């Protein structure tokens, strides 16, 4: 019988081999992530499985899909998780190496209500984690994570007899077939497929070819868990710049890049220009609004303000709802509202029927982008981008801030901006017209520009985004002259991962 998890164990010690190590900070808002070794050990993962199995039994469920991403330690972690789930009396269906959306697909394909996908997504090597859900196509939110955390850390799990594990094949083939069935191209398109040596490399090139494109270059599509070039993260500039160079070198119509667990998609156009996912989302919303009048779209608070003002969307009766950043939040809100689609600036795209099943899937997003191009045969992706109203949106920038401090720091920043707005204040000479606090703080200015500061949901950092409707220089000024100096006054906030 496992003992109650501890948080004071060190690797290479006797106690580390006989006690579960589980740091409380690994339980995030909507998934779980730890640095494997110093923050969780294999016995800790087994305890997590016991806790998760206990929780899903409390929900009246038993059958659960498990899969793992391509990292040197993910298979071992999945096996430890499975041992805990079986000990809790669960019926475990192991689909093997998978992307996160393939695991979500398997919930439908294999009629399993619950899922536990072992993945650290795009996090650096050393990280591990689990994305979980018990109400397809949704994943856990804060309430479910809080309940799971309490069960695991208190050792309040309930072992049950009758647990089983079955290894099921064929899911990869059926998943690729369904993802590629979303599009049948009638025009030739040359595509760079970029995977950053992550898990998506085992799925994306084949799926894109089935959609009818010519994959002119498989960029970093060899599975390599050392990630020799960069982390598979199509929101980071290093991967986007490599995609842009490949487009120019190979004369491609676009590049499609996928993150480490395949649930996000990044895009570079035919001119080698990176297009942030919120702008791709706006293009898709314009295209889909013509086919589905009066549609509702959900977008996260990091996304461009153009969704709220776009004339094409208004002309087709579209309604846009801004909501909390995070794949679980946007997925849940998209389902709750019966929205046609949800878009997140990080590259998560959510499509409800008839386009998708409601979960975030990089391949379904790629299919939607290719279908949009197919419906506009005389226009390149760069043409569709230029047809958008002009807005200058920054990269997503993330200054370090410890997990145990980031929420408190964010609350103080929110209060600071609220007080400034209530006093009739302004930023760089522009009056504050709205302060949105659904997720951190988004400060909207009278000319439509805005700044955002929020705590990251899954890493020890804050998130900063700014957008100007004036110019790129003004966008940089909003960061360099407003946000960066304001945050610099907080000693808890460290260096940025990237800056503009």
Out of 337, 360, 383, pick the residue that ends a domain.
360
Q: Which are the catalytic amino acids?
A: 121
The Cβ of residue 173 has, within 10 Å, a number of other Cβ atoms equal to 10
Half-sphere exposure of 24 (CA within 13 A, CB side): 11
* Nearest partner of 165 among 257, 109, 92, 241, judged by Cα: 92
State pLDDT tens for residues 113-149.
999 999 999 888 999 999 999 999 999 999 999 999 9
Beta strand pairing status for 341-343 and 296-300?
parallel
Residue 159 banded pLDDT, cuts 50, 70, 90? very high
User: Does the pLDDT value for residue 458 go beyond 80?
Assistant: no
Q: What per-residue confidence (pLDDT) applies to 395?
A: 86
Kind plus residue range of the DSSP H or E element containing 178: helix 171-180
Over the stretch 199-240, which tens digit does the pLDDT of each residue have? 999 999 999 999 999 999 999 999 999 999 999 999 888 999
End-to-end, the C-alpha distance of the chain in Å comes to 52
Tell whether 353 and 307 lie within a shared domain: yes
Q: pLDDT tens digits, residue range 84-104?
A: 999 999 999 999 999 999 999
* 367 within domain boundaries: no
- In order of 87, 122, 284, 285, 346, the CA distances from 288 in angstroms are 47, 29, 6, 5, 20
Summarised one tens digit per residue, pLDDT across range 286-314 is 999 999 999 999 999 889 989 988 999 99
- Is 90 exceeded by the pLDDT of residue 21? yes
Tell me if 7 is assigned to some domain.
no
Beta bridge partners of 268: 255, 274
Do residues 197 and 328 both lie within one domain? no
CATH number for position 89:
3.40.120.10
Residues 181 and 243 in one domain: yes
Angle at CA of residue 90, ends 120 and 79, nearest 5°: 40
Domain that holds residue 319: 275-360
The domain total for the chain is 4
Q: Given a cut of 90, is residue 451 above it in pLDDT?
A: yes
Q: Which residues contact 77 (CB under 8 A, 6 or more apart)?
A: 36, 42, 45, 68, 118, 128
Q: Establish if 5 belongs to a structural domain.
A: no
Residues 158 and 24 in one domain: yes
78 located within any domain: yes
Strand (E) or helix (H) holding 169: none
According to the model, what pLDDT value does residue 235 have? 85
For residue 378, being part of any structural domain is answered with no
Closest CA relative to residue 341, chosen from 265, 278, 288, 277: 288
Whose tokens are 């100007």? That residue is 468
- Confidence label for 172 from pLDDT (cuts 50, 70 and 90): very high
DSSP H or E stretch at residue 253:
none
CA dist list (Å): 349 to 205, 216, 393: 19, 25, 19
> Is the pLDDT at 487 greater than 80, yes or no?
yes
Pair 24, 158 in one domain: yes
Is it true that the peptide bond before 366 is cis, omega within 30 degrees of 0?
no
Is residue 135 domain-resident? yes
pTM to 2 decimals? 0.90
335 and 204 both lie in a single domain: no
Of the residues 272, 303, 333, the one at which a domain ends:
272
> Is residue 19 domain-shared with residue 164, that is, in the same domain?
yes
Mean pLDDT value across the chain: 95
Q: Which of helix, strand or coil describes residue 119?
A: coil
Same structural domain for residues 231 and 216?
yes
pLDDT over 80 at 3, yes or no: yes
Both 211 and 200 in a single domain?
A: yes
Contact 279, 388 (CB under 8 A): yes
More confidently predicted of 458 and 335: 335
Looking at per-residue pLDDT, the higher value among 236 and 34 belongs to 34
Domain stop point among 146, 169, 192: 169
Residue 366 lies inside a defined structural domain of this protein: no
Nearest-angstrom CA–CA distance, 283 and 82: 42
Q: Are residues 401 and 317 in the same domain?
A: no
> Looking at residue 457, what is its pLDDT?
81
Please check whether residues 129 and 182 belong to one and the same domain.
Answer: no
Q: How distant, in Å, are the alpha carbons of 67, 153, 400 from that of 89?
A: 18, 20, 40
Indicate whether 303 belongs to any domain. yes
For the segment 323-355, what is each residue's pLDDT rounded down to a tens digit? 998 889 999 999 999 999 999 988 999 999 999
Confidence bin at 169 (pLDDT 50/70/90): very high
Place 459 in a pLDDT band, splitting at 50, 70 and 90: confident
Quick: pLDDT tens for 227-275: 999 999 998 889 999 999 999 999 999 999 999 999 999 999 999 999 9
Strand partners, 256: 193, 267
Residues 152 and 41 in one domain: yes
Quick one: pLDDT at residue 184?
A: 86
């Amino acid at each position: 019988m496992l003992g109650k998890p501890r948080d004071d164990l060190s690797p290479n010690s006797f106690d580390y081999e006989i006690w579960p190590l589980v740091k409380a900070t690994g339980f995030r808002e909507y998934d779980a992530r730890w640095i494997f070794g110093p923050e969780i050990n294999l016995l800790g993962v087994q305890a997590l499985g016991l806790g998760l199995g206990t929780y899903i039994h409390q929900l009246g469920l038993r059958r659960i899909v498990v899969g793992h991403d391509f990292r040197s330690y993910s298979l071992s972690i999945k096996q430890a998780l499975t041992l805990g789930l079986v000990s809790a009396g669960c019926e475990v269906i192991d689909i093997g190496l998978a992307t996160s959306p393939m695991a979500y697909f398997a919930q439908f394909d294999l009629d399993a209500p619950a899922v536990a996908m072992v993945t650290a997504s795009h996090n650096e090597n050393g990280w591990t984690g689990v994305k979980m859900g018990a109400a397809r196509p949704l994943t856990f939110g804060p309430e479910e994570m809080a309940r799971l955390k309490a069960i695991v850390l208190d050792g309040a799990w309930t072992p049950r007899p009758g647990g089983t594990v079955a290894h099921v094949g064929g899911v990869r083939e059926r998943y690729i077939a369904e993802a590629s069935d979303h599009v049948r191209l009638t025009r030739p398109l040359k595509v760079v497929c970029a995977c950053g040596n992550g898990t998506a490399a085992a799925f994306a090139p084949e799926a894109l070819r089935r959609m009818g494109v010519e994959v002119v270059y498989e960029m970093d599509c060899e599975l390599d868990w050392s990630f020799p070039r960069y982390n598979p993260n199509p929101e980071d500039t290093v991967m986007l710049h490599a995609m842009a160079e490949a487009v120019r070198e190979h004369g491609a119509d676009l590049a499609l890049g996928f993150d480490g667990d395949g649930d996000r998609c990044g895009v570079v156009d035919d001119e080698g220009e990176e297009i942030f996912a919120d702008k791709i989302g706006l293009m898709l919303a314009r295209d889909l609004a013509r086919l589905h009048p009066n549609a509702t779209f959900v977008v996260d608070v990091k996304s461009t303000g153009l969704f709220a003002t776009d004339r094409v969307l208004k002309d087709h009766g579209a309604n846009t709802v801004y909501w909390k950043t995070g794949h679980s939040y946007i997925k849940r809100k998209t389902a709750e509202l019966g929205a046609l689609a949800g878009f997140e600036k990080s590259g998560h795209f959510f499509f409800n029927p008839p386009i998708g099943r409601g979960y975030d899937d990089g391949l379904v997003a790629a299919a939607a982008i290719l279908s949009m191009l197919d419906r506009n045969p005389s226009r390149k992706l760069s043409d569709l981008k230029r047809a958008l109203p002009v807005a200058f949106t920054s990269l997503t920038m993330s200054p370090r801030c410890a997990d145990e401090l980031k929420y408190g720091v964010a609350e103080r920043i929110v209060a600071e901006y609220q007080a400034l707005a209530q006093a009739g204040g302004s930023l760089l000479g522009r009056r504050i017209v709205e302060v949105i606090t659904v997720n951190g703080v988004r400060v909207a200015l009278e000319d439509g520009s805005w700044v955002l500061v929020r705590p990251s949901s899954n890493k020890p950092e804050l998130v900063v985004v700014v957008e100007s409707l004036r110019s790129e220089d003004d966008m940089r000024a909003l960061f360099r002259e407003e946000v960066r100096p304001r945050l610099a006054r907080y000693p808890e906030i460290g260096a940025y991962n990237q800056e503009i």
